Structure 1
Amino acid sequence: MSVFSRFFPQAQVSLVHCEENQVILTAKNDKTAESEKRQIRLIDLAREATPATCNLNPLLFNGHLQTGWTTIKETTEIPIYYKRKIFEQEIPALAGQFAVDFVVPAYPKTTDPEATDEARKYTLPSGLPARTTFFSKEELAALPSNDTKPMLVALHGLTGGSHEVYLRAALAPLVLDETAGWEACVVNGRGCAQMKLSTPLLFNARATWDVRQVIKWLRKTFPNRPLFGIGFSLGANILVNYLGEEGENCLLNAAVICANPWNLDVTNIALRSTWLGAEVYSAHMAVSLVNLFNQHVDELTHHPRLNVDDMKDVKYIHEFDRAVQCALWGYPTEGAYHRDASSTDSLLAIRIPFLAINAEDDPISVKQAIPYDEFKQTPYGVLLTTSWGGHLGWFELGGCRWFTKPAANFLNLIAKTIDLSVTPMPEKDKEGLYGETLANGSIHKPSHPSVFYPVNRKLSMTIDN
C-alpha cells in the first residue's frame, strides 16, 4: 500500500447488471442513415457515466461519519431558486393538495402581495423554505412551452423537500450549467417543505399517485420535453414503485435512483438490531416524523382510524409507521406496510433505462437490502455500488458529493447522445417473463400459468382516475 493510498483511500466502485441481456440504446447521429445508427448497450453507457475513481474525504472514513456529516453540511449554499405551484390530487380517494417546486433563475426576495397571500394560504406559519416563493398568475400562464429542453422530476427523502442540500447538489450540475440546458421540478411529499395538509393523508413509501399526476401534467404542458426522474432515499423507493407500476407506458425516458432503501422490511430489522441503528438513526428519523406529525396534527386528527394518543410513546421509526402509516392506509402491522411498499420487486417491471447508486456502508439503506440478484435479471437497470459513502453522503475533500457526478453524467448522456424517439429494447426478447404493466398498474396476464408479477400488491389502492 502506497503512502498516498493510505492517507487518501479510494472507495471500490462496482457495476452490477444482467450479463446475458442488456437494453440497447440508439445513438443520435444526424450524418448517419437511419439503418446505420450506432447501438449502445446500457452497461456501456453506465460505465462511461461512472467516474474512474471514488476519492472521498479521508477524515470521513466510514459510512457513519459520511452520514453524520450531512447534518453538519446542511447550511451549504447552493443557489437554486424555486417557484411553487399547488396541485390538487384528482383521485377522490386520495384527495389533497401538494406542492411542486420548479427551478427558476435567481430572483430578489419578493414583496409581491399576491405571492405573500398564496404563502399564507398554503404554507405553515414558519414560512416557505429559503429561495422559494409562489408563481404569480402571470408566471403560471406563461409556463407552458414547446421547447425541447430535458426536464428532470425529483423526489426527496423522508420528511424532506426541495430545499434539501443533497437534492440541490444533484440538481446543480444540470440546472446551474447553462450549457447543460436542463429544467427541473421537485414533487414535495404531502405535508413536507412547509406545505399545509388539506386532508388527513401524509405521504408513504408507496405514494406514487402525486408524482404520476405531475408527470402527466408535465407531458401536456411541455409536450416536446424529454422527461427524466431522480429519487433520493424514500423518494427513490417511491420512484422505483412508480416506474414499475407504469411499466412500458412510462412517460419518463430514464431515471436515477439514489440511496434507495429497497427492502423496507430488511432495513427496519437492520436498524433495530444495533444500538446505533436504533438509538441514533431510527430515533433521529422518528423525531423528524413526529415533528412533521405535530405540524399537521389538527388536520390528521380528522382521520377516523388515527388515534393521536398512540403517538405519545413513539421513539423509533417503526413505531411511527405502526401508529400512523398503518392507521392512515389500513395495514395491519408495520411489517405488512414495509413489505408491501418495498421496491425490490418493482424494479423488475421497469421498462426504461435506469441507474441506481448505493453505498454498501450506508447505515440506513443497508447493504443487506440491496437487490443484487434482481439487477442481474433486469436488462433495463444498472446498479452502481461503492464500498464507502454513507447515506446520501459520498463527501469528497472540499465538500462536494461524489454521487452527483455519475448521476448527472448518466442523465446528460441519455438526454444528449441517445435518440429518444427509438424505444430501448433488450438484446434478447424477454416479454412476459416478469409480466407487463398498464399505466394504471393493472397487469397484462398471459396464458402461461406461472408468471411472476413484480407490482402485485397486498393493499388494494386506486392509483389512477
Structure 2
Amino acid sequence: MEWFGRAKLNFTHSATPVSLKCKDGTATDIVSLVKETTPPCHLNPLLFNGHMQTFWTATKQHGPSIYYRRKIFESDNPSVEGTFAVDFIDEPFEETDPDLPPGRKPMLVILHGLSGGSHEIYLRHAIAPLVESGDWEACVVNSRGCAMSPITTGVLYNARATWDIRQTVKWLQEKYPNRALFGLGFSLGANILTNYCGEEGADCVLKAAVICSNPFNLEVSNKALQRSILGKEVYQRVMGSNMKELVKRHEEAIEKFTVLDLQRLQNVTYLYEFDRAVQCPLWGYPTEDAYYRDASSTDAILAIRIPFLAIHATDDPIAVDEAVPYNEFKANPYTVLTTTSLGGHLCWFEVGGSRWFSRPVSQA
C-alpha cells in the first residue's frame, strides 16, 4: 500500500525519444512533454490497491454530462460488411439538426472498452475537460452492437477490429481536411487503437494517440486472470456475463445472420469461454489462445510512427502488469509508457470521486 494514496510515477521510453515542436515554435521531445503534463498521482487512500479501485467503479453511477449526435456508417470494407455507430459530442439540443459539428478544432477519436460505449463514465470523465474548454471536438466509435447500435450482418467485433476506426478516420480526414485528428483508447479499445496505429505505421493520419489500461498481451492477461479466485470468479465472470448480455440483446439478428450455436452460449460463464464459443467460430480461430495471440497489440508498439502515450497502473487486476511490453516501449522513440503504482483498471479514483487519468489525457 502506498503512503496515503500517493502513487509512484514511472516513465518507460527510448533513450533517444522523437523530437516535437511546441505550439510556440520551441523544440522539445515526447518524454519531456509527457513528464511536464503529467501531474502527481494522489489517489483516494481508502482505495489502497487495484482491486479496491476497480470494485469502486460499481458504485460510481454518475459522471459528467456529455451529449451526442449519432451518425450511422455503412462499412466500406466488403470483408466486414455491416453498419456501425459513431457518436459525435454536441451541445444539448431540443430540435433535430442533421449537421455534425463544423469548424477547425482538433477532433479526438475515441474507442471504448469491452461491451461499453459512448455512455461509459470513465470515458466521459476523460473527455469532459476537453469539451468544457471549448477547444476540442470528439467522437466515439462504438463497437458493433454496443451502445444500443444495431447488428445488421453476421460481422460482430473482436479485439483486433480496426476496420471501423480506419473508416471513421478516413471519413473525418475527407470531411474536415483542416482538422487535426487524435486518438484515445480505453482497455479493449486501447488494444484496438494500438493495433490500428501499428498497422498504419508512417501513414497514420492521427497526429498522436493516448491509451489507458491496455491489456496488450491478451493471452498473458487471460491466463493471469484464471490463476486467481478474484480474477476468474469476479473479473472473468463479470466480463463473460456482459458479453452474453450483449449477444442476448441482439439474439434475433445473430440467429438471422450467423450460424452461432446460441444454445451453447447458455453454458458460458467466463470471458474466455465466451471467446471460445463466439469469437473463435466467427473469425476462424482454432482456440481462444490463437485468437488472443493474433489480436494482441504487443508487437504493434514497434511499428507506431506517431507520438504515442500509454497510461497503465501496475496494480491493474485486468490489464495485468506482466502483459505490458516494457521493452517494446524502450525500443520505439515515438512511444512513452507512464505507469502508476496505484489505479486499478480504468479507475485512478481521487478523493471526491474525480479520476486522475483525465488530467494527463487532456493535457498530453
- 1:131-189 deviation digits (Å, cap 9, x = unpaired): xxxxx4xx33x4374x32111000000000000000000000101223xx100000000
Task: Give secondary structure in 2 for the equivalent of 1:343.
Answer: coil
The normalised TM-score by structure 2 is: 0.97
Counterpart among 44, 47, 54 of residue 35 in structure 2: 47
Q: Does 1:28 align with 2:23?
A: yes
| C-alpha distance in structure 2 between counterparts of 1:56 and 1:28, whole Å | 31
| C-alpha distance in structure 2 between counterparts of 1:201 and 1:153, whole Å | 22
Aligned to 1:271: 225
Aligned to 2:120: 164
| C-alpha distance in structure 1 between counterparts of 2:352 and 2:62, whole Å | 11
Aligned to 1:12: 8
Percent identity, please. 56
| C-alpha distance in structure 2 between counterparts of 1:188 and 1:286, whole Å | 19
Kindly indicate whether the alpha-carbon contact (under 8 Å) linking 2:69 and 2:100 is maintained by their aligned counterparts in 1: no
Aligned to 1:107: 93
Task: Give secondary structure in 2 for the equivalent of 1:376.
Answer: helix
Kindly indicate whether the alpha-carbon contact (under 8 Å) linking 1:144 and 1:222 is maintained by their aligned counterparts in 2: no
Following superposition, the deviation at residue 391 of structure 1 comes to: 0.3
Kindly indicate whether the alpha-carbon contact (under 8 Å) linking 1:18 and 1:379 is maintained by their aligned counterparts in 2: yes
Counterpart among 309, 323, 343 of residue 369 in structure 1: 323
- 1:263-316 deviation digits (Å, cap 9, x = unpaired): 000000001111100000000000100000111122112355422222121000
Aligned to 1:65: 52
Query: What stretches of structure 1 of length at least 5 have no aligned partner?
Result: 30-36, 111-135, 411-465
CA RMSD of aligned residues (A): 1.3
| C-alpha distance in structure 2 between counterparts of 1:276 and 1:293, whole Å | 25
Counterpart of 2:8 in structure 1: which amino acid? Q
| C-alpha distance in structure 2 between counterparts of 1:84 and 1:303, whole Å | 24
| C-alpha distance in structure 1 between counterparts of 2:122 and 2:5, whole Å | 23
| C-alpha distance in structure 1 between counterparts of 2:5 and 2:347, whole Å | 16
Following superposition, the deviation at residue 79 of structure 1 comes to: 1.5
Aligned to 2:310: 356
Following superposition, the deviation at residue 239 of structure 1 comes to: 0.3
Following superposition, the deviation at residue 28 of structure 1 comes to: 3.3
Counterpart among 193, 200, 207 of residue 246 in structure 1: 200
Task: Give secondary structure in 2 for the equivalent of 1:335.
Answer: helix
| C-alpha distance in structure 2 between counterparts of 1:333 and 1:155, whole Å | 26
Kindly indicate whether the alpha-carbon contact (under 8 Å) linking 1:201 and 1:300 is maintained by their aligned counterparts in 2: no
| C-alpha distance in structure 1 between counterparts of 2:34 and 2:63, whole Å | 30
Kindly indicate whether the alpha-carbon contact (under 8 Å) linking 2:70 and 2:88 is maintained by their aligned counterparts in 1: yes
Counterpart among 231, 236, 245 of residue 291 in structure 1: 245
Kindly indicate whether the alpha-carbon contact (under 8 Å) linking 1:303 and 1:328 is maintained by their aligned counterparts in 2: no
| C-alpha distance in structure 2 between counterparts of 1:382 and 1:403, whole Å | 15
Task: Give secondary structure in 2 for the equivalent of 1:302.
Answer: helix
- 1:233-253 deviation digits (Å, cap 9, x = unpaired): 000000000001111111100
In structure 2, do the counterparts of structure 1 residues 144 and 404 end up closer, same or farther at CA, with 3 Å as the change threshold? closer
Counterpart among 72, 76, 81 of residue 62 in structure 2: 76
Counterpart of 2:353 in structure 1: which amino acid? G
Counterpart among 247, 251, 262 of residue 308 in structure 1: 262
| C-alpha distance in structure 2 between counterparts of 1:306 and 1:9, whole Å | 47
Following superposition, the deviation at residue 92 of structure 1 comes to: 1.6
Query: What stretches of structure 2 of length at least 5 have no aligned partner?
Result: none
Kindly indicate whether the alpha-carbon contact (under 8 Å) linking 2:348 and 2:356 is maintained by their aligned counterparts in 1: yes
Kindly indicate whether the alpha-carbon contact (under 8 Å) linking 1:82 and 1:104 is maintained by their aligned counterparts in 2: yes
Task: Give secondary structure in 1 for the equivalent of 2:343.
Answer: coil
Q: How does 1:64-213 map to 2 (within 5 A)?
A: 64-73=51-60, 75-108=61-94, 136=96, 139-140=97-98, 142-143=99-100, 145=102, 147-178=103-134, 181-213=135-167
Counterpart of 2:26 in structure 1: which amino acid? R
Following superposition, the deviation at residue 9 of structure 1 comes to: 3.2
Kindly indicate whether the alpha-carbon contact (under 8 Å) linking 2:198 and 2:303 is maintained by their aligned counterparts in 1: yes
Q: Does 1:217 align with 2:213?
A: no
Following superposition, the deviation at residue 260 of structure 1 comes to: 0.3
Kindly indicate whether the alpha-carbon contact (under 8 Å) linking 2:313 and 2:341 is maintained by their aligned counterparts in 1: yes
Aligned to 1:421: none
Aligned to 1:453: none
Q: How does 1:408-427 map to 2 (within 5 A)?
A: 408-410=362-364
Task: Give secondary structure in 1 for the equivalent of 2:311.
Answer: strand
Following superposition, the deviation at residue 200 of structure 1 comes to: 1.9
Counterpart of 2:100 in structure 1: which amino acid? L
Counterpart of 2:77 in structure 1: which amino acid? I
